[in-house]
Structures are given as C-alpha cells and as structure tokens.
Amino acid sequence: MSDSAKTKVNIVVADDYENRFPEVVEAAQQAGLDVEEQLPTIGLITGTIDESKRSMLERVQGVAAVEAPRTYQLPPPESDIQ
C-alpha cells in the first residue's frame, strides 16, 4: 500500500466517450481511482486516488479533466444577510 495521501477528485468524461462511460469508469479504476459516484447523464465520476497515481488517471482515454472538487460554505440560516 502506498504512503501517499488520498485526494478527492472529479473526473470529467470527454463528450465523445459519453456512450462508453462504463469503459472510462473501469479504466479509471484500473489507474487507481476508488469510485464514489458515477453520474453518466452529466459525464462525471467522483472518487479518491493516491496523489502519486493522479498523472496515470489524467492519461486514461476518455478522461477530459481531473479536477479538485469545489466546495461551498453557506452562512447559517440565522445569520444576517449581507
């Protein structure tokens, strides 16, 4: 097992691979991705991967981009609106 930390990632599947989404998921898993969610309707796969394997994931056929997930923090409901 690698000492590298696991990183959360979003994988954008290339438009021309949308009909082969399961193949891209399988290839991403073989590259080291632990799949958390598959969203074929929007062409997105989420999961975690060892940072040391990220470059392998970026080279998978059908992967358009590997991005860090975006997070949003909303103020609590009782806070004043600014």
Task: Write out pLDDT tens, residues 38-48.
Answer: 999 999 999 99
pLDDT bracket for residue 79 (50, 70, 90):
confident
pTM for the structure as a whole: 0.80
Residue 4 has what DSSP assignment?
Answer: S
The residue length of the chain stands at: 82
CATH numbers and ranges of domains, the chain = 6-67 (3.30.70.80)
Which position has the token pair 């062409």?
Answer: 43
